[in-house]
């Protein structure tokens, strides 16, 4: 059960990271600063917030409170990322911290209680909390990217009008036990090798 949960959750995190990666592939330098209205977050601000949250929550995940004293949450919503390269650097640093923490979880420490602002969480609760939080903000990033690109947006899931074709291909295959993200993540790995 524990190993299945950890494996499944890691794949979900990888899937949401991939959605962000594919959005960044479609936008240019100026796009990361675009805001629908002045009070709305840009992609740069959302990435900075995710980065700050990830470093706080996942650094020393099992041994220190997830809301680090060094975190400057309010500053995460200031538009001061200077470039797409800096955005991608923060994005990768946050995810690297998260995946390193996930790699530290095993059977012997799975019952550890972790704290976020002094509130105790089981590992499952803490991971679910962050997974939902990141999916929420990455959905915003994807939506902003789609607004910016308009008709030039390349769908990150089943393209509009292609559901029937997609389902036919799926049901033409034998039943199998597989995680739904596998094909997306395998395609990403394949695309990286071919570059």
**pLDDT tens-place string over residues 72-88:** 998 899 999 999 999 99
What does 46-92 look like in DSSP terms, one character per residue? HHHHHHHHHHHHHTTTTTS-SS-TT--TGGGGS-----HHHHHHHHH
CATH of the domain at 79: 1.20.120
Instruction: Return the minimum-mean-pLDDT range out of 16-20, 62-66, 132-136, 161-165.
Output: 161-165
Does 167 reside within a domain?
no
Task: Please give the residue that has the higher pLDDT: either 148 or 159.
Answer: 148
pLDDT for the residue 137: 98
pLDDT of amino acid 155: 92
In a domain, 164, yes or no: no
Question: Which of 17-21, 30-34, 179-183 is predicted least confidently?
Answer: 179-183
Residue 153 has a pLDDT of: 94
pLDDT at 175: 82
In a domain, residue 85? The reply is yes
Would you say residue 186 lies in a domain? no
Domain that holds residue 14: 2-157
Percent of the chain with pLDDT over 70: 93
What three-state secondary structure class fits 161?
coil
Number of domains in the chain: 1
Torsion of CA 169, 173, 175, 176, to 10 degrees: -100
Q: Share the mean pLDDT of the chain.
A: 91
Query: The tokens 């291909």 sit on which residue?
Result: 169
pLDDT at residue 193, as a whole number: 47
| Short-list 12, 101, 88, CA closest to 51 | 88
**Residue 121 belongs to some domain of the structure:** yes
Check whether 191 has a pLDDT greater than 80: no
pTM of full prediction above 0.85: yes
pLDDT over 80 at 189, yes or no? no
Tokens representing 7? 């494996």
| Residue 157 confidence (pLDDT) above 60 | yes
Q: Which carries the bigger pLDDT value, residue 154 or residue 182?
A: 154
CB contact at 8 A, 156 and 19: yes
CA dist list (Å): 112 to 6, 86, 104, 108, 123: 14, 35, 12, 9, 7
Residue 121 DSSP class: E
The pLDDT value given to residue 185 = 64
How many whole angstroms separate alpha carbon 58 and alpha carbon 3? 19
Domain membership of residue 174 (yes or no) is no
Instruction: Say if 172 falls within a structural domain.
Output: no
- R_g of the chain computed on alpha carbons: 18
Residue 18 forms part of a structural domain: yes
């Amino acid at each position: 059960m524990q190993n299945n949960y950890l494996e499944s959750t890691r794949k979900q995190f990888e899937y949401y990271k991939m959605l962000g990666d594919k959005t960044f592939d479609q936008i240019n330098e100026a796009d990361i600063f675009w805001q629908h209205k002045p009070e709305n977050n840009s992609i740069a601000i959302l990435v900075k917030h995710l980065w700050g949250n990830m470093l706080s929550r996942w650094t020393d995940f099992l041994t220190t409170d997830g809301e680090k004293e060094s975190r400057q949450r309010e500053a995460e919503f200031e538009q001061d990322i200077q470039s797409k390269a800096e955005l991608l650097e923060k994005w990768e640093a946050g995810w690297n911290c998260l995946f390193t923490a996930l790699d530290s979880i095993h059977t012997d420490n799975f019952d550890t209680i972790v704290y976020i602002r002094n509130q105790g969480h089981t590992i499952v609760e803490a991971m679910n909390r962050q997974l939902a939080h990141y999916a929420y903000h990455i959905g915003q990033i994807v939506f902003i990217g789609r607004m910016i690109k308009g008709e030039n947006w390349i769908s990150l899931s089943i393209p509009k009008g292609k559901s029937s074709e997609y389902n036919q291909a799926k049901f033409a295959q034998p039943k199998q036990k597989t995680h739904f993200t596998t094909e997306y993540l395998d395609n990403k790995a394949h695309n990286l090798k071919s570059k």
